[in-house]
Structure 1
Amino acid sequence: MKKLDKLIIKSFIGPFVATFFITLFVLVMQFFWLWIDDFVGKGLDAVTILKFIWYQSAVLIPLALPLAVLLSSLMTFGNLGESFELVAIKSAGISLLRFMRPLVFVSLLISLGAFLFANYIIPVATLKSRTMLADIVLAKPAFDIKEGVFYDKLDRFAIKIGKKEKDDSTIRDVIVFENNYSGGGLQDNFVVAKDGVMKPSPDKRFLDIVFKDGWRYQERGSRSDSSTEYIRLGFKEYKMQLDISSFNFKASDDSSNRNNERVLSMRQLDIAIDSMTRFANLEIDRYRSSMRNNFSLLMYKDSVVKGVVIPDSVLNFKKNNDAFRGLDSITGRAVSTLTDKAKTPSDSTVRKKDSAGSTALAGSSKRIRNSKSRQAAALKKPDTVAAATTPAAARALKKDSAARRDSAALAKRKLEANTITAFLPDSAQLNLTERAIGNINIAKDNASINLGSIQEQEKSIRRYKIEWHKKIVLALACFLMFMIGAPLGSIIRKGGLGTPMIFAIIFFLVFYFSSNTGEKMAKEGSLTPFSGMWLSTFILTPIGAFLTYKAMRDSNLFNKEFYNRLKRKMQDALRKKQQRLKTKQKTA
């Protein structure tokens, strides 16, 4: 490794470590500021608080690393530019990219470490911190009795202390009320004492109270019985033990949070996404199958129109029902056609028909011929709806040949559509209509229920995909922030924490808000998980390339003198233009 590479790496490591811990501290304090109300008054010991801070700090490391890399790279190259070391290096013929090369490898190593940390360490730390946070939020406030106020946080007990000495154990003018006392048939129970000593047990599960010089009041008997006994007992010393174990912090099992997407590695996320996707597809197929079952009659409609044989159950229903004898001519034609297609009788069977059967067959043939003639006439006539309109409308319809053709086609479609119900009596048609309406209502309800279920599954899949991309995006952000900070520092040429901090906050806010916006849009379904999570990368990558291009050409992008010169040139040009206009006006 050359001395120049060692110089730039040493110049970078110091600010990076310092800014990393400062950034991490700020993020942890910001988290505690949001949850401070749930931590205060819970009586948490130092070990529990330190353990929670340890886990939460690990969770916030992927967010602190990009800001630390950005700020440290700005400070490093700003210091080199401010002390003219960067100018000396460039004058020696070393380009900016060659000078940045060792830190490029360092930033890539930081990105790789951030990815491995986010994939293997962060899930465990997130699981522990979320479980501890839930336990802390649900924990009861610490046991603390104030003077002159009844403390009723204990189960079945209320305690009032007139005065508490400085040692926090000696108490004066004590009243203890016990409600719903279940032992010995007693009702309410009072203890009144002048003095007492109150100390928790070594394991802090019980509160031992020793009363001195007092009275104990009891009521013996049932609450529903008016003949109860009133008992008063005086004592010199009376001991009572209260259960305060519910006030102690209890660590619960973390199994309830193990299915959360934030506690899974990328491999586990892939398995979960694949399982949920297959389950969602099965749900969609099941719903499609149920919809086909609800509208099974549509298959028969297509069969009638296309000439496919109607099922035997339908034909047998027609044959055995006397109500079909009164069908009109259209019905007779349809049923005769379907019957001929379903079952064609042999010649011998026809010859064996008796005279009554021949007469019935002849009558049926006559009705069929009449039906065909009426159908042909109906197809030639204009639509009955059009004929029923006003005379003026009828004359207009006759003049329009296209309208007459449309009416004929409409009548033909109506005739074909009626063939599905043509062989049914009126009562059966009404029953069929009612059943169809019922099936439609059921299908609507099922559609709304299944749609909500499918949408929830798709939302869960999007959340898991978002977390998968987030692990890569946050790791890559470290390298991206370096490619912004290094050229920007060489342009502004300001070291320290002042100017670099301002630019670092600006670009980090752009990264933070674009990441959150993309994540929210991806969760809502407005963007795909890929587009939403990589939105910040798509925004900042051109900025980094532009700044690198400007830095390689010694741009005056953030040089105050450059903008002052540009302002003076614009003012001079504007002044000359005004003078030319005045000269033209005078000559005119």
Structure 2
Amino acid sequence: MKILDRYILSRFLYNFFSSFLILMVIFIFQGIWLFIDDLAGKGLGLVIIGKFLFYYMPSLVDKVLPLTVLLSSILTFGTFAENYEFAAMKASGISLQRAMRSLIVFVILLGGVTFFFANNVIPKSEQKTFNLRRNIAKVKPAAAITEGIFSDFEGTGEGMNIKVDKKFGEQDRFLENVIIHKKTQQGVNNTVIKAKSGELISSEDSDIIQLVLKDGNYYEELKPKAPKARRKHPFAKSDFETYTINIDVSELNNQDLEEDGNITTNKMKNVTRLVKDIDSLGKDNLKKVEAFSKNITGRMGAFPISKEKDSIRGIRIKQNLTKVPEQEIEENEKDSISSVGDVLDKLQEWQRQQVFNNANTSVAGILTTVQAKKEELQKRFKFYNSHILSLHQKYALAFSCIILFFVGAPLGAIIRKGGLGLPMVIAIVLFLTYYFIGVFAGNYAKEGNIHPAIGAWMSTFIMLPLSILLTKRATADRGLMGDGNFIQRITEFFKFKKKNKAVKA
């Protein structure tokens, strides 16, 4: 490697790693802000919080790395242009492509490392983060209760769903406006408890957590053994000032925070697993659609016209075995129904009305079934599309690092500014454009409005022509727009107008 290549590469690596560390710290603080309710005030300890942040960091790479490549390339080449180092290179016969040669090799290698990271490290970190949050919720019951929604609260005894409007106090032990649905062993919610306030009381020496409810109501559906008594739907209802629920957490206290659960989401899967699941999900969805189509066709009583007799007749004629009598064909034509009116004309008025009512009821039932099945199929296909999207995003992330380098490097040579001022602003604007295009395209792809592959690659493909255009203009030593700098041309335009006004005056 020549001295020039080493110099350019060293400057780029310095900007790259410093930008990566700064941006990673910023995004980590953003993650802490998002999960502050799950971590703060739960008595988790610094070790557990540190593990959570360590597992969470790799999931930020898909945001931090493209921005880092874009910013470091603008900073490096902007500083070279500002200090007239590019002018010295061009005077020595060194073109922009020649100056970028060592960095191109590095960025290509970085793309390969990024794909390996997205395929192996990020899925594992997503799984570790998910399992750690789930296991923390088991060990710390207050962490399992989320404000405003029903949260599953599983112990060693009866399970329940708990909803609270507000948590406050030390370790969120005090609850406000509590609603509890207790489950039977069969998982049926037949008991509802409502209280204005509640408190979680626990001790380090005890395996029992007490949930003390105050000023509430208790409602329970009774299930008598006699069938006649069941038809009366008996229930028990009472008011209480204080009601205590004891929860045995002896098994939960032995919960391993590092225990791995089953893979459940597309973000926790590598390419091999995604390809396998995409194939199985596609076949399963197709079977579901075909089965539902046959079911609806059967309920409607609409069957395709059988052509079995016609086919048999044609085979027999071709084989010269026998011919179908013309009389039989005419009788079949007489038995066929040409229109619905032919059937209704043969019925009395009350029979026609009954047919219409039955048809209306059948159609209404079918429409209800179709609407319910539509929502189910939409969820299935959204899950299927998210797998395809995740598969292509792993490749798109690696390719985007290369594309954004060819956007940032010539752009830095054009604007001729180093430091963290203008380059930072331009890098953030370009990255936000790239990121939001990817987010919107991904959401459209999940809903099935566009193909998931297009949704994953759209932001990268939009940046591709921009990278080609900027590289050409920087190679030809031209400005950002037109033959000169865009800002300079605007400044000259206003100076020209001001000069004309002075002449007219």
- TM-score interval, smaller chain: 0.5 to 0.7
2:331 pairs with one of 311, 318, 341: 341
Q: 1-side partners of 2:252 and 2:285: how far apart?
A: 44
Against the structure 1 CA distance between its residues 418 and 469, is the aligned structure 2 distance closer, same or farther, given a 3 Å change threshold? closer
Number of the residue aligned with 1:278: 283
Q: What's the offset of the Cα at 1:551? A: 1.3
Number of the residue aligned with 2:385: 462
Q: 2-side partners of 1:567 and 1:249: how far apart?
A: 74
User: 1:38–1:136: 8 Å Cα contact kept in structure 2?
Assistant: no
Against the structure 1 CA distance between its residues 559 and 80, is the aligned structure 2 distance closer, same or farther, given a 3 Å change threshold? farther
Q: What's the offset of the Cα at 1:37? A: 2.3
Against the structure 1 CA distance between its residues 16 and 248, is the aligned structure 2 distance closer, same or farther, given a 3 Å change threshold? farther
Number of the residue aligned with 1:545: 468
2:339 pairs with one of 402, 406, 417: 417
Q: 1-side partners of 2:460 and 2:397: how far apart?
A: 10
User: What does residue range 97-108 of structure 1 map to in structure 2 within 5 Å?
Assistant: 97-108=97-108
TM-score for the superposition, normalised by structure 1: 0.58
Q: What's the offset of the Cα at 1:514? A: 1.5
Moved more, 520-529 or 281-290: 520-529
Q: Spell out, residue by residue over 1:267-325, the C-alpha distance to the aligned partner (whole angstroms, 9 max, x if none).
A: 2111111111111111121122223322336668999xx9x99xxxxxxxxxxxxxxxx
Number of the residue aligned with 1:33: 33
**Runs of 4+ with deviation above 6 angstroms:** 243-249, 300-303, 337-340, 422-425
Number of the residue aligned with 1:133: 133
**Are residue 521 (structure 1) and residue 448 (structure 2) matched?**
no
For residue 287 of structure 1, what is the amino acid of its counterpart? F
Q: 2-side partners of 1:95 and 1:570: how far apart?
A: 38
Q: 2-side partners of 1:562 and 1:425: how far apart?
A: 86
**Are residue 269 (structure 1) and residue 288 (structure 2) matched?**
no
Q: What's the offset of the Cα at 1:59? A: 1.5
Q: 1-side partners of 2:381 and 2:456: how far apart?
A: 17
User: 1:136–1:249: 8 Å Cα contact kept in structure 2?
Assistant: no
User: 1:65–1:478: 8 Å Cα contact kept in structure 2?
Assistant: yes
Q: What's the offset of the Cα at 1:546? A: 2.3
Number of the residue aligned with 1:565: 492
Q: What's the offset of the Cα at 1:127? A: 0.2
For residue 463 of structure 1, what is the amino acid of its counterpart? S
For residue 280 of structure 2, what is the amino acid of its counterpart? S
TM-score for the superposition, normalised by structure 2: 0.67
Q: Spell out, residue by residue over 1:246-280, the C-alpha distance to the aligned partner (whole angstroms, 9 max, x if none).
A: 99694468665512100001121111111111111
Q: What's the offset of the Cα at 1:428? A: 11
Number of the residue aligned with 2:69: 69
Q: What's the offset of the Cα at 1:99? A: 0.9
Q: 2-side partners of 1:265 and 1:484: how far apart?
A: 29
Against the structure 1 CA distance between its residues 421 and 563, is the aligned structure 2 distance closer, same or farther, given a 3 Å change threshold? closer
Number of the residue aligned with 1:111: 111
2:453 pairs with one of 515, 526, 530: 530
Aligned partner of residue 450 in structure 2, secondary structure: coil
For residue 276 of structure 2, what is the amino acid of its counterpart? I
Q: Spell out, residue by residue over 1:86-111, the C-alpha distance to the aligned partner (whole angstroms, 9 max, x if none).
A: 11001111111111121111111111
Aligned partner of residue 339 in structure 2, secondary structure: helix
Q: What's the offset of the Cα at 1:339? A: 11
Number of the residue aligned with 1:84: 84
Q: Spell out, residue by residue over 1:348-374, the C-alpha distance to the aligned partner (whole angstroms, 9 max, x if none).
A: xxxxxxxxxxxxxxxxxxxxxxxx9xx
User: What does residue range 51-450 of structure 1 map to in structure 2 within 5 Å?
Assistant: 51-136=51-136, 139-140=140-141, 205-206=205-206, 250-251=255-256, 258-296=263-301, 341=331, 416-417=338-339, 421=343, 426=348, 430=352, 436-450=359-373
Q: Spell out, residue by residue over 1:223-245, the C-alpha distance to the aligned partner (whole angstroms, 9 max, x if none).
A: xxxxxxxxxxxxxxxxxxxx997
Q: 1-side partners of 2:206 and 2:85: how far apart?
A: 69
Cα RMSD after superposing both structures: 3.9
| CA radius of gyration, larger in | 1
For residue 461 of structure 2, what is the amino acid of its counterpart? F
Q: Spell out, residue by residue over 1:483-521, the C-alpha distance to the aligned partner (whole angstroms, 9 max, x if none).
A: 111111112222222232222212111122222121222
For residue 405 of structure 2, what is the amino acid of its counterpart? F
Number of the residue aligned with 1:225: none
Aligned partner of residue 94 in structure 2, secondary structure: coil
For residue 76 of structure 2, what is the amino acid of its counterpart? T
Q: 2-side partners of 1:17 and 1:249: how far apart?
A: 41
Against the structure 1 CA distance between its residues 501 and 447, is the aligned structure 2 distance closer, same or farther, given a 3 Å change threshold? same
Number of the residue aligned with 1:471: 394
For residue 341 of structure 1, what is the amino acid of its counterpart? E
Number of the residue aligned with 1:16: 16
Q: Spell out, residue by residue over 1:536-571, the C-alpha distance to the aligned partner (whole angstroms, 9 max, x if none).
A: 123322222222222112224357555433433454
Q: 2-side partners of 1:300 and 1:545: how far apart?
A: 59
Moved more, 517-526 or 52-61: 517-526
Against the structure 1 CA distance between its residues 205 and 495, is the aligned structure 2 distance closer, same or farther, given a 3 Å change threshold? farther
Q: What's the offset of the Cα at 1:121? A: 1.2
Q: What's the offset of the Cα at 1:481? A: 1.7
Q: Spell out, residue by residue over 1:108-131, the C-alpha distance to the aligned partner (whole angstroms, 9 max, x if none).
A: 111111111100111111100122
User: 1:421–1:429: 8 Å Cα contact kept in structure 2?
Assistant: no
For residue 343 of structure 2, what is the amino acid of its counterpart? T
For residue 295 of structure 1, what is the amino acid of its counterpart? M
Aligned partner of residue 526 in structure 1, secondary structure: coil
Against the structure 1 CA distance between its residues 205 and 499, is the aligned structure 2 distance closer, same or farther, given a 3 Å change threshold? farther
Against the structure 1 CA distance between its residues 524 and 296, is the aligned structure 2 distance closer, same or farther, given a 3 Å change threshold? closer
User: 2:132–2:258: 8 Å Cα contact kept in structure 1?
Assistant: no
Q: 2-side partners of 1:299 and 1:526: how far apart?
A: 32
Percent pairwise identity: 30
User: 1:15–1:75: 8 Å Cα contact kept in structure 2?
Assistant: yes
For residue 34 of structure 2, what is the amino acid of its counterpart? L
User: 2:111–2:399: 8 Å Cα contact kept in structure 1?
Assistant: yes
Q: What's the offset of the Cα at 1:419? A: 8.1
User: 2:127–2:260: 8 Å Cα contact kept in structure 1?
Assistant: no
Count of matched residue pairs: 386
Against the structure 1 CA distance between its residues 73 and 339, is the aligned structure 2 distance closer, same or farther, given a 3 Å change threshold? closer
Q: What's the offset of the Cα at 1:342? A: 6.5
For residue 284 of structure 2, what is the amino acid of its counterpart? F
1:501 pairs with one of 424, 436, 458: 424
Q: 1-side partners of 2:368 and 2:137: how far apart?
A: 40
Q: 1-side partners of 2:253 and 2:273: how far apart?
A: 35
Number of the residue aligned with 1:555: 478
Q: 2-side partners of 1:575 and 1:13: how far apart?
A: 51
Against the structure 1 CA distance between its residues 434 and 507, is the aligned structure 2 distance closer, same or farther, given a 3 Å change threshold? closer
Against the structure 1 CA distance between its residues 339 and 507, is the aligned structure 2 distance closer, same or farther, given a 3 Å change threshold? closer
